[in-house]
Amino acid sequence: MENIFINQSVAILCDGNNIERSIHDLSQSKNTMINFDKLIPKLLNGRGLNRLLYFREGKAISSKFAERLYENYYGSVIPCHKSADIPLSIKATQLASKVDTIIIMSGDSDFVDLVVHLKGEGVRVEIAAVRKTAAGILIDEADHFHEITKEDCFVYKVPGKPIIKRH
């Protein structure tokens, strides 16, 4: 990508559960997380971040994670009742008139209709996902695909679990 997007404003909407499952599958570890400090600048490629929203089903959302997203990117973690599909789609539709580009972090084919709708509204739509677990139809429909790789992740050490060396 050239720097012709420099004045674009971008919203990044992340389907947390989908991305977490994908990176756990990719790394073969449940203790893997996205390194947002590495991934976000790569996704933006010099463009301005309008907002970052991380949709997550379930109660176990790390307050530390939420604080870091807010402090570094004014990002918000949005707890979802069931899957992120509907809340993420509603928010994307609301943002369509306010941003030039929406990056959906998910490989879920449920977002194909959303991508088609947003493009019809004149929004550039990009998908960021792990290629192996991303639906081909979603990648094909998007204006651009960003592959999330192991380099965009890190494995965190679970506190309080000593490493036992066996001899």
| pLDDT at residue number 1 | 47
What is the four-CA torsion angle of 72, 74, 75, 77, rounded to 10 degrees?
A: 110
Amino acid symbol at 119? K
| pLDDT at residue number 64 | 84
Q: 28-84, pLDDT tens digit by residue?
A: 888 888 999 999 999 999 999 999 999 998 766 778 888 888 888 888 888 888 889
Q: 110-159, pLDDT tens digit by residue?
A: 999 999 999 999 999 999 999 999 999 999 999 999 999 999 998 877 66
Rounded to the nearest 10 degrees, the angle between the axes of helix 36-44 and helix 63-73 is 40
First to last CA, the chain: 51
**Prediction pTM value:** 0.88
Q: 81-107, pLDDT tens digit by residue?
A: 888 999 999 999 999 999 999 999 999
Question: Residue 154: beta bridge partners?
Answer: 33
Distance CA 149, CA 147 (A): 6
Tokens of 9: 């404003």
Q: How far is CA 110 from the centre of its chain?
A: 15
